[in-house]
């Protein structure tokens, strides 16, 4: 049977843009701009778009398009049977982030409903609104449940449904943000200075000499585009046979950054127009700027109560749409892996949605503390989860790079055997090993944009260097700025992160043998059959195409062979 696919390029692009665009584009990006010198921050942020995000997304698209499986199967095929656990790590990190991201999505939905009903108008104490909401677990859980329910409904019927929902949500998001931007321009232009706009694009050279500006630019680019998170591997499973991986990757990343610019301008210009100390307000923390400052800012928009209501409602509706599209990709990444291993899609969606809701309850209701210095409530348990798993996704990108390195080395050894070459030679390795992945899976003839050797240099040299700098800066920051960083009971320390990472990795390593003992079903569209036998795990006879029957033996002491239900797609 034919595999499940998107209807066309636009569907794929909108789905992947939806996966990349999330709340971080709308609330974290303006904070990074404000804290790192405005336009000075944009310089490293744009540089890392092309030396981190785009190359890594190209790799993900290429891997997913050839493997035609989710992350577990992709690593099983591309890196070999011993490394399927890397795909499980990638899936877990995304899902673990989804546990608390569903709660954050619920916050956005709550604030949209409050804005639309006039509950965030002029004179409202936004701190009290935030505290009352966060300290009422029933409210938080209701909106968390609504976020999970909407997401499950969006992906229940597979690729076509995901495509339609993302198109609707993304087009709506663009319209809402452009409308909010127009109103912010009017606000910023009231005094004739457009100082928010000027700050956004003014380069202050002293910031470019600060390492933190570059590290912030790298981290924002890495997280914002979802590069290395496995989202693009998952959506590439639904690519048509002749889909362009390189142009789609560039389009997705550029669209993501464009939305960040629009959102950043909207927030920056609105805050600069009404706040006495705009830089303090914009860099005061993600929840502070989004849920405390912006409602007060939008309540002062020109045009009276109607325009003010429209402004705050449009902003939080756009924020809700951005959060939901990221939730869709998060759940789909997990669901795809279950479906690849023979689980009925509806069961996989139900199981994953239930897990996201249940495991997200602690982030919704536990450890809600009050900051005595500001009088603002904050979710300590949720912040601890973000502290633990937020940087864990960086390893997923490293694992993707490892798969590329491994494939290149394997092809070099094959070339040596075929040509009776003995001993290692750098030039031979560069010509017949390093370039193999790019030649075999990127420059396939389907792409409008031919990728040169620069991509090899980035993946083999640039990426590990950038990874080391990013992770190193993270741990150095913890050592220098966190009290008792090695105390295992410190929720913001190093030890708790290493413990969770270590235990998770060990468990997944032990699960690896069980993972590869089960049939894997590839979602191959009609006419898109391509060989995978040259890949490290491609000759495994338990790797089948959707609709095939594996009759090689018993599984879990069952006397029946495993048959993939035709309704899986």
- Residue 460 is assigned to a structural domain of this protein: no
Whether residue 114 is contained in a domain is answered as: yes
pLDDT > 90: percent of the chain: 54
Pick the range with the lowest mean pLDDT from 3-12, 56-65, 292-301. Answer: 3-12
Q: Are strands 549-550 and 543-545 parallel, antiparallel or unpaired?
A: unpaired
**Residues 87, 75 contacting (CB under 8 angstroms):** yes
30 within a domain of the structure (yes/no): yes
> CA of 567: how far to CAs of 3, 106, 529, 550, 560, in Å?
11, 32, 20, 17, 19
Assigned domain for 453 exists: no
Q: Does a structural domain hold residue 554?
A: no
What per-residue confidence (pLDDT) applies to 229? Answer: 87
Does the pLDDT of residue 256 top 80, yes or no? yes
pLDDT digits (tens, 9 = 90+) for 329-371: 999 999 999 999 999 999 999 999 999 999 999 999 999 988 8
In a domain, 119, yes or no: yes
Say yes or no to pLDDT of 233 above 90. Answer: yes
Alpha-carbon torsion, ordered 502, 508, 509, 513, to 10 deg: 170
Q: Give the H/E segment covering residue 173.
A: helix 159-188
**In this model, does residue 568 exceed pLDDT 70?**
no
Per-residue confidence band for 431, with pLDDT thresholds at 50, 70 and 90: confident
Q: How many domains does the chain have?
A: 1
> Three-state SS string across 64-124, please?
HHHHCCCHHHHHHHHCCHHHHHHHHHHHHHHHHHHHHHHHHHHHHHHHHHHHHCCCCCCCC
467 token code pair: 């990874």
**CA separation for the pair 415, 381 (Å, rounded):** 52
Neighbours of 164 (CB within 10 A): 16
Query: How confident is the model at residue 3, as a pLDDT?
Result: 59
DSSP strand E in 359-498: where? Answer: 368-371, 376-379
Residues 462-484 have a mean pLDDT of 91
Residue 161 lies in a domain: yes
Per-residue buried b or exposed e for 262-287, using 16+ beta carbons within 10 Å of the residue's own CB: bbbbbbbbbbbbbbeebbebbbbebb
* Average confidence (pLDDT) over 83-106: 94
Each residue's pLDDT tens digit, 192-208: 778 889 999 999 999 99
CA distances to 64, 162, 444, 458, 556 from 448, rounded to whole Å, are 19, 26, 10, 21, 47
- SS3 state of residue 368: strand
Q: How far apart, in whole angstroms, are the C-alpha atoms of residue 163 and residue 154?
A: 9
The per-residue pLDDT for 394 is: 86
Please name the residues in contact with 215: beta carbons below 8 A apart, sequence gap of 6 or more. Answer: 469, 470, 473
Helix H, strand E, coil C: the string for 249-307 is: HHHHHHHHHHHHHHHHHHHHHHHHHHCCCHHHHHCCCHHHHHHHHHHHHHCCCCCCHHH
Q: Which domain holds residue 68?
A: 12-371+381-398
- Tokens in use for 228? 């290395």
CA-to-CA distance for 180 and 173, rounded, in angstroms? 10
- CATH number assigned to the domain comprising residue 240: 1.10.4160
| 433 occurs within a structural domain | no
The reported pLDDT for the residue numbered 284 is 63
Q: Report the distance separating Cα 413 and Cα 422, nearest Å.
A: 10
Q: How many residues does the chain have?
A: 569
Distance from C-alpha of 37 to C-alpha of 203, rounded to nearest angstrom: 7
In sequence order, the 6+-apart residues with CB closer than 8 A to the CB of 403 are 63, 75, 78, 79, 83, 86
Nearest to 104 by CA among 366, 324, 330: 324
Tokens of 519: 């049939």
- Sort strands 520-522 and 376-379 into parallel, antiparallel or unpaired: unpaired
Instruction: Please compute, for residue 427, the number of CA atoms within 13 A of its CA located in the half-sphere on the CB side.
Output: 0
């Amino acid at each position: 049977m034919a595999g499940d696919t998107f209807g066309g390029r636009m569907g794929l692009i909108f789905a992947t843009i939806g996966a990349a665009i999330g709340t971080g584009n709308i609330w974290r990006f303006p904070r990074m701009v404000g804290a790192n010198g405005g336009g000075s921050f944009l310089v490293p942020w744009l540089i890392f778009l092309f030396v981190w995000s785009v190359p890594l997304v190209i790799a993900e698209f290429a891997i997913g398009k050839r493997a035609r499986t989710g992350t577990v199967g992709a690593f099983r095929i591309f890196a070999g049977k011993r490394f399927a656990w890397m795909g499980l790590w990638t899936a877990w990190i995304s899902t673990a982030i989804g546990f608390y991201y569903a709660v954050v999505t619920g916050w956005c939905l709550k604030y949209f409903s409050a804005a639309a009903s006039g509950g965030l108008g002029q004179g409202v104490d936004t701190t009290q609104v935030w505290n009352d909401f966060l300290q009422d677990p029933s409210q938080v859980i209701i909106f968390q449940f609504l976020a999970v329910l909407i997401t499950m409904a969006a992906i229940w019927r597979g690729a076509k449904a995901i495509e339609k929902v993302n198109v609707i949500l993304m087009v709506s998001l663009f319209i809402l943000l452009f409308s909010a931007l127009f109103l912010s321009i009017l606000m910023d232009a009231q005094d004739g200075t457009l100082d928010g706009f000027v700050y956004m694009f003014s380069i202050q050279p002293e910031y470019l000499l600060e390492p933190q500006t570059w590290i912030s630019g790298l981290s924002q680019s890495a997280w914002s585009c979802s590069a290395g998170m496995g989202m693009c591997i998952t959506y590439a499973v639904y690519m048509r046979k002749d889909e362009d991986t390189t142009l789609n990757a560039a389009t997705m990343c550029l669209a993501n950054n464009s939305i960040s610019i629009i959102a950043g301008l909207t927030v920056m210009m609105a805050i600069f127009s009404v706040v006495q100390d705009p830089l303090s307000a914009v860099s005061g923390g993600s929840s502070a700027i989004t849920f405390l400052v912006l409602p007060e800012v939008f309540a002062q928009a020109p045009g009276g109560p109607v325009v003010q209501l429209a402004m705050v409602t449009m902003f939080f509706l756009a924020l809700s749409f951005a959060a939901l599209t990221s939730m869709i990709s998060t759940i789909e990444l997990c669901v795809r892996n279950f479906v690849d291993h023979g689980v009925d899609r509806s069961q996989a969606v139900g199981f994953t949605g239930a897990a996201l809701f249940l495991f997200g309850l602690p982030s919704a209701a536990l450890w809600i503390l009050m900051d005595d210095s500001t009088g603002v409530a904050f979710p300590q348990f949720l912040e601890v989860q973000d502290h633990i798993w937020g940087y864990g996704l960086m390893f997923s990108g490293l694992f993707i790079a490892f798969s590329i390195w491994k494939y290149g080395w394997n092809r070099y050894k094959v070339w040596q055997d075929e040509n009776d070459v003995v001993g290692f030679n750098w030039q031979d390795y560069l010509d017949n090993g390093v370039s193999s992945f790019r030649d075999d899976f990127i420059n396939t003839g389907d792409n409008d944009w031919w990728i040169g050797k620069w991509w090899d240099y980035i993946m083999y040299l640039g990426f590990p260097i950038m990874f080391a700098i990013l992770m190193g800066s993270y741990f150095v920051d913890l050592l220098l700025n966190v009290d008792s960083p090695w105390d295992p009971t410190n929720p913001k320390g190093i030890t708790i992160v290493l413990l969770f990472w270590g235990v998770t990795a060990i468990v997944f390593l032990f699960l690896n043998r069980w993972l590869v003992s089960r049939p894997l079903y590839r979602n191959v569209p009609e006419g898109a059959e391509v060989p995978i036998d040259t890949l490290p795990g491609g000759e495994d006879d338990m790797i089948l195409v959707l609709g095939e029957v594996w009759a090689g033996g018993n599984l879990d002491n069952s006397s029946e062979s495993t048959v993939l239900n035709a309704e899986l797609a």
